[in-house]
Amino acid sequence: MSKTKVQQYNLTEGSIIQKLLLIALPVIGMQLMEMVYNLADMFWLGKLGTEALAATATCGMYIWLSMGFMVLGRIGAEIGVAQSIGAGEIKLAKHYFVNSFAISITLGVLVGLIMLFGNSTLIRFFNLDDPYVIELSERYLSISGIGVPFIFMSAVISGAFTGSGNSKLVFYINTSGIIFNLILDPITIFGLGMGVTGAAISNVLGQILSFTLLLIALYRHPSRPFEKINLWLRPQLKILKQIFHWGLPVMLEALLFPFLSMLITRVVAQWGPTAIAAQRIGTQAESLTWLIAGGFCTAFTSFVGQNFGANKKNRIRKGMRLSLIMLTIYGSIVSLFLYFFGTFIAGIFINDTAVIELSAKYLQISAFCQLMCCYEPLFSGYFRGIGLTMPPAVISIVINALRALAVYVGAYLGIDLIGIYWIITWGAIARGLLLVLWYLIKNRPRRT
């Protein structure tokens, strides 16, 4: 990388707001593009009917769960590359990336094979009683498994670029894959008459395209994080141990969160396909918050990582204050939008009156937790950047487990679906509040 490029992507010097936005805006833009695709995908599938939405929502839980395994390698690349570059250790940054890539390709192949050949067993977990929904779910999940290894490998390469401060290129490449999907989706779903199968094939092709472009960029692009890289070096035990030390808490959090959400979805399924479809619409609309805030978490991890490696703690504190102001404004706007326009949002994706009414109620209730849903990824990014991945993982695992337990107890006691929505919302509020509290305790002034 040229000297100009190094200075451009060095997050330890210069205007904090400028450097923070340099990495945050492309990541947020990428998350926005993903949200646009998910919403467009849901729009087209909604035209096929409630069964198609219910089937893809069911499979989406397993795809979400599989991303938990992806986190291990990505976190190793993000933290390892960011801290090593901040400390001026480029060779060490390479070692972290190569070892993270080895972890990801291994896990990606294993998870993909399970989804490809174990789809029937996985779908049976939800106790669906509609044979057509079951058939669509199994077909969609098996095809999706083919794309999983490419998602895992793309995540590690993206993590290396983001950790080095260059999230802009990742944005361009992933946006290309998303635009490809946006064009291909209606063609495969309706033009070729493939329905849900076409949506799955479109996803996989887009994932392969993104990986191919990222791999080319890793070796050829002028602003690549490493001048030369060999992906097939033998893994190093010391580096692997450090990656697992960072990544295991985050992986457990990322695995348990969707698994516990799947348990909640299993309870929601008692109210039928209408409830499942409404929940999918609601969670996709909520992505206005968590996709943006999640992207900011990735950006802030890199910012904190580089400055932590350079021992610039005061710069980290200033970056936190600026980020907190921006996310507070954004989270407040989203909360108001979800609360007052829930019916309008749901009506964009489906014509079923019952689904629209239920989705609007879900969004109105979830509006109360959106601010904390912004804070949680921000403070998680701080802890990950300094290499303390345990605090956000502990809070997430404990609160989500208690939330799932509360949902099951509530359903047993006869609480209706609206009551379940409130339990979900209070759980999200608790996660954000506890993480903010943990940060304040860690950074309280020391007595002399």
Question: In this predicted model, what pLDDT tens digit does every residue of 315-367 receive, in sequence order?
Answer: 889 889 988 998 999 999 999 999 999 889 888 877 888 888 999 999 999 99
Judged against a pLDDT cut of 80, whether residue 391 lies above it is answered with yes
* Helix, strand, or coil (residue 171): helix
Residue 445 per-residue DSSP state: P
Task: Let me know: does 81 contact 225? Beta carbons within 8 Å.
Answer: yes
Measured distance CA(117)–CA(139) in Å, rounded: 11
DSSP string, 397-420: HHHHHHHHHHHHHHHHTT--HHHH
What pLDDT is recorded for position 419?
Answer: 93
pLDDT tens by residue, 374-384? 999 899 989 98
What pLDDT is recorded for position 2?
Answer: 43
Measured distance CA(84)–CA(88) in Å, rounded: 6
pLDDT tens by residue, 285-307? 887 787 778 777 777 888 888 88
Band of pLDDT at residue 368, cut at 50, 70 and 90: very high
Of 145 and 126, more confident? 145
pLDDT tens by residue, 157-188? 988 888 887 778 888 888 888 888 888 888 98
What pLDDT is recorded for position 336?
Answer: 94
Task: Let me know: does 363 contact 342? Beta carbons within 8 Å.
Answer: yes
Residues 6 or more apart from 443 whose CB is under 8 A from it?
Answer: 317
DSSP string, 53-110: HHHHHHHHHHHHHHHHHHHHHHHHHHHHHHHHHHTT-HHHHHHHHHHHHHHHHHHHHH
Measured distance CA(258)–CA(65) in Å, rounded: 5
pLDDT tens by residue, 44-93? 877 777 778 778 777 877 887 788 888 888 888 888 888 888 888 888 88
What pLDDT is recorded for position 8?
Answer: 46
What pLDDT is recorded for position 4?
Answer: 38
b or e along 2-21 (b: 16 or more beta carbons within 10 Å of the residue's beta carbon)?
Answer: eeebeebbbbbeeebeebbe
Residue 127: which region, alpha, beta or left (left: phi > 0; alpha: psi -120 to 50)? left
Band of pLDDT at residue 215, cut at 50, 70 and 90: very high
Band of pLDDT at residue 261, cut at 50, 70 and 90: confident
- Mean pLDDT over 260-278 rounds to 82
- Neighbouring CB atoms inside 10 A of 165's CB total 28
Judged against a pLDDT cut of 80, whether residue 280 lies above it is answered with no
Residue 141 per-residue DSSP state: H
What pLDDT is recorded for position 53?
Answer: 76
Measured distance CA(100)–CA(153) in Å, rounded: 9
- Domain map (residue ranges) of the chain: 3-442
b or e along 196-227 (b: 16 or more beta carbons within 10 Å of the residue's beta carbon)?
Answer: bbbbbbbbbbbbbbbbebbbebbeebebbbbe
Judged against a pLDDT cut of 60, whether residue 7 lies above it is answered with no
Helix/strand number for the chain, H first, E second: 16, 0
Task: Let me know: does 56 contact 98? Beta carbons within 8 Å.
Answer: no
What residue type is 448 in one-letter code?
T
What residue type is 396 in one-letter code?
S
Which helix (H) or strand (E) segment holds residue 180: the answer is: helix 168-186
